[in-house]
Structure 1
Amino acid sequence: MNDEAVALGPPERLHPLSLLSSLGASLRGMWGLFAAGGYFAVQGNWLLLTVTAALFAIFSVGAAVLRWRRFAFRVGAREIRVDSGLLSQTHRSIPFDRIQDVTVEQGPLARALGLARVRFETGGSAGTKEDGSLAAIPLQRAEEIRDLVRASRGLAAAPAVGQITEEEQPVFAMDLRRVLLAGVFNFSLAVLGGLVGLTQTFGDALNFDPFRRRFWEGLFAPGTPLGDFFLAHQVAAITAGALTLILIGLGTGLLRTVLREHGFRLDRTAVGLRRRRGLLTLTDVVLPARRTQAAIIATGPVRERFGWSTLKLQSLAKEEAGKGDHVVAPLAQEAEIAAVLGAIGWPAPRGPQWRRVSSAYVAAFAAALAPFALIAAANLAFQPAVGTAGLAILAILLAVRVLAWRRYAFALDGDRLLVRSGWWRRRLKILPLRNIQSVDYQQMFLDRWFGAANILIGVAGGGMSGHGIKALPAGTARDIRDHLLSRFT
């Protein structure tokens, strides 16, 4: 046995439960095969349906088993090595000193079996996903690996997953009532998008596609029961349809929020914040304070009226979905947000001197809409209803822009830049000047026309798309750029 094998330790395999995740990935990639099977079933061609099922079993189940058999990992004193691959074998080494974040997750079945998933993120994935993961290993082994990585970096071991010391006061927590309230505010019609995808895949085979006009024309044709009822009770039918959409949106928001935020608890640790949440999938993440690049306080006109906001921290550590924005307070009052910010050493904004942006923010937008307004106005002579609807939509867009401009402002608050924006999606961004990596001065065609300019600000892990100040007077934009860049010299 060579020194490398001794240093790395014996090879370990994943639990057979990891085969389920492999099969799930295979299922997501074989919609065409399912559509073909559904078509053969409707046509009564059972021979081809049997052949299709056999092909799925051979290529999906067989490949998943072979991948599981070829997957192994070794844990050493300073690194983890993952060996995988069927025809092309990969031996990937992940040094402990390059691992920036370790996350332990448990789904409902994994909790029942005492298993967990471990995710590693080093920054080598360019922020798109984690660099490596162990899909299903014993929970005790997952905690040992997490503690080993933390110990190698001089950090204290985290408590075991699911062990919450009640006598320790959390920085922030949400009971079931608060979670349900957050679900109401998270109104969503995303389920309709999923239904559109399903009908696009299986609609023709099943002869059922409610997103096509002919489907409803057949249901509500004169002489049909639904058609006669709609003609006799038009107001009631329209009201029932609107209420159905509202109930779908509320139900979707409640379901998504309860599944994600149930049991939400945020605790202070020696290095930052520890967040635990999830009903079916329990996630346990530690967010180092020193890796936090920016804070975002998000709200809306309805939520703000009742004093509710959401706090996100933009960090170099990536979220489960590959994003750098970590929600650390899904629904909180101002004092609770101040407490969370204080836990990482960031004071909450207190009465900054706000400076409004230029009216070019509205004027340039109106100029961009002008061609569409002319088309809609010209269409009044040929299709009055379409032209009127187009002008109404443009007027609403312009009104929303005006309301957003009235809120858009920025402030230099000591060693931080504050940017307040949006009317419907209201945001307050807190950017410590020490975290700013780059500053760009930008002028588009319409900006030059109105004497305005934009400032684009880049922070580590956030790119250039998320932060900046739009529609500043050109001279003010240059002064702000020079002030921010002076921090680098």
Structure 2
Amino acid sequence: MVNVEPRRLHPGTIVLRIVTKAPQQIAGLIALAAATSRAGIWPMLGILTVLLIGAGAFTWVKWRSFTYLIDGGELVIADGVLHRKRRSIPFDRIQDVSIDQKLLARLFGLARVRIETGGGEADEATLDSVSLAEAARLREVLRGGGTVAVPSVLPAEPARDTVFAMSPGRVLTMGVFGFSLVWVGLLFAGLNQVGDVIGWNWIDVRDWAGVARQEAIALATPLFAAMAAVVALAVGAISGVVRTVLIEYGFRLEREGGRLRRVRGLTTRTEVVVSLRRIQLALIERGMVSGRLGWSGLRFQTLGGSDDVGGRQSVAPFARDEEVTQVLAAAGYAPFDPLPLRPVAFGHVLRTGLVRGGLPLIGVIVAMFFLPLAGLALLLVPIPIALALLARRHHRYAIVGDTLQVMRGVLSKQIWIVPLARIQAVSVRRSPLQRLLGLATVHVDTAGAKGLGRPNIVDVAIEDAEQLTATLLR
């Protein structure tokens, strides 16, 4: 059992917090300076000095009031200046401990320790910030269930084998495929706001053309449209590259004993350790464009330590098929094998076609009574049927060895590999249309699953669904 005196965060936390919050205080200080400028320079400086000293003193008091203690098989955290709070987290509730470093914290040599219990999407506790040595000690003690004694000298780290890594060139390539229109919208919204502020608009430009107004409009309209499209594509590509570099730079996945250690990030350096015994399933994702060029992403659903709202850790975000197989093998998972997979029932085509094309077809028929030309829309009816055929072709499933493997998706694909021993619950659900067509959906649940994107098998013949459910539960 570990028994130590209560500890405080690193003293550098005080300076780090002051520097971090400085931008938020600048606007208020400027407004205060403007309000007190009439009273003279000395009263203004006096007020600013008092406020700065007060902010520093308050930060110091908050730092001093925060303590943590490892004792009696639990982590005890006490916090609060006026209202004291005390939280006790038993070791057996802790699912994982992760370490990350933001840019300023790296300059100060500090790190943030996040403790997760798997009881919710938020961290159970956060120690922000401690020294790197203390962060490593805490992780070893908390992960070891308190069996690791407090060492005066940190022990040598266990041997690590690099399972997967991404070079800077690989990260840049991944960023190109991470095209995002979010920044495009922000850019044009910003240009619109700037135009409103300075009073610029297209009418002014048109008037500047003088007698050549019509010629300018005829030339500028297609030219500006082409330029806007080029700018939008460039901004979208650049934003994807920048975002990817900030998150994935220096990506390295290593195996050390019974766990995987992932390090990544440029400005914020994160270090996450995933215990192999807490991995519930593997998810392979293939994008619409990158997937056809042979690139895939691999994530593990875990019981804790995930920075993804779906409870999944990215362990190979941009990899070739053989690299995905290598990471799966490091975690003790069999490779994905598409050959044994069987498609869902043909009724999937009928149900999907009716759902996606039935209502539009009724709308077209009704519209034809008022507008005969609306009948031309009937030419689009085969589209949802063709999509349904493609969806059935790519929606496949099978029990391969001791795993359930499920594949879904037409343009972008998702492939689940679920060990049978990790399946927590299986249920068969049927909508009214499925009952009419003799179909059912098999819902597969594992521990730690959050949100959407589960390995459900949609539109299986009812007799096959019942047999599959019995096999999975057995």
TM-score by length of 2: 0.80
* 1:148-187 pair list within 5 angstroms: 148-152=141-145, 169-187=161-179
* 1:284-295 pair list within 5 angstroms: 284-295=271-282
Aligned to 1:411: 398
How many Å separate the matches in 1 of 2:377 and 2:464?
A: 36
How many Å separate the matches in 2 of 1:312 and 1:172?
A: 13
AA aligned to 1:103 is: S
In structure 2, runs of 5+ residues without a counterpart are 39-47
* 1:246-395 pair list within 5 angstroms: 246-369=233-356, 370-375=358-363
AA aligned to 2:14 is: P
How many Å separate the matches in 1 of 2:71 and 2:195?
A: 57
Aligned match for 1:468, one of 438, 452, 456? 456
Structure 1 position 450, deviation (Å): 2.4
AA aligned to 1:121 is: E
Structure 1 position 315, deviation (Å): 0.9
How many Å separate the matches in 2 of 1:318 and 1:145?
A: 15
How many Å separate the matches in 2 of 1:21 and 1:393?
A: 60
**1:433–1:176 CA distance, 2 compared to 1 (3 A):** same
How many Å separate the matches in 2 of 1:106 and 1:258?
A: 16
SS of the residue 1:73 aligns to: strand
Larger-Rg structure: 2
In structure 1, runs of 5+ residues without a counterpart are 1-5, 210-214
**1:64–1:382 CA distance, 2 compared to 1 (3 A):** farther
How many Å separate the matches in 1 of 2:181 and 2:387?
A: 22
Aligned to 2:181: 189
* 1:394-405 pair list within 5 angstroms: 399-405=386-392
**1:10–1:110 CA distance, 2 compared to 1 (3 A):** same
**Alpha-carbon contact 1:115-1:138 (below 8 Å) kept:** yes
Aligned to 2:5: 9
How many Å separate the matches in 2 of 1:423 and 1:67?
A: 54
**1:121–1:232 CA distance, 2 compared to 1 (3 A):** same
Aligned to 2:127: 134
Structure 1 position 375, deviation (Å): 3.6
SS of the residue 1:104 aligns to: strand
AA aligned to 1:336 is: E
Structure 1 position 69, deviation (Å): 4.9
AA aligned to 1:484 is: L
**1:417–1:322 CA distance, 2 compared to 1 (3 A):** same
Residue 17 of structure 2 corresponds to residue 19 of structure 1: yes
Q: In terms of mean alpha carbon deviation, does 470-479 or 175-184 score higher?
A: 470-479
Structure 1 position 350, deviation (Å): 3.3
**1:19–1:333 CA distance, 2 compared to 1 (3 A):** same
SS of the residue 1:257 aligns to: helix
**Alpha-carbon contact 2:8-2:64 (below 8 Å) kept:** no
How many Å separate the matches in 2 of 1:77 and 1:417?
A: 41
SS of the residue 1:171 aligns to: strand
How many Å separate the matches in 2 of 1:156 and 1:306?
A: 50
**1:423–1:89 CA distance, 2 compared to 1 (3 A):** same
**1:287–1:21 CA distance, 2 compared to 1 (3 A):** farther
TM-score by length of 1: 0.77
**Alpha-carbon contact 2:94-2:117 (below 8 Å) kept:** yes
